[in-house]
Amino acid sequence: MLTVGDLSSTMLDIIGKLAEGESLPQIAIDLRLSEDDVDVIVAAAAKVLRARNRVHVVNIALRRRLI
């Protein structure tokens, strides 16, 4: 089973903001990252979680109480 330790704090911040409905551009502004960086981080989180897409990333994180 996955734990919070399997994801970086930045990944968790981004997934949390996605869960709240924030857009990638807004997340990038909030975290002072480029949109490309946010997209790459979400893709990395998806790989760790074995998720198919962003919605699936959020779903898995919520179900496993990672966020």
Question: For 6-49, how does the pLDDT look when each residue is reduced to its tens digit (9 = 90+)?
Answer: 899 999 999 999 999 999 999 999 999 999 999 999 999 999 99
For residue 39, give its domain range: 4-63
Cα separation, 17 vs 23, whole angstroms: 8
Full-model pTM: 0.89
Look at the chain and report how many structural domains it folds into: 1
CATH number at residue 16: 1.10.10.10
67 CB burial (10 A radius; 0-12, 13-18, 19+): buried
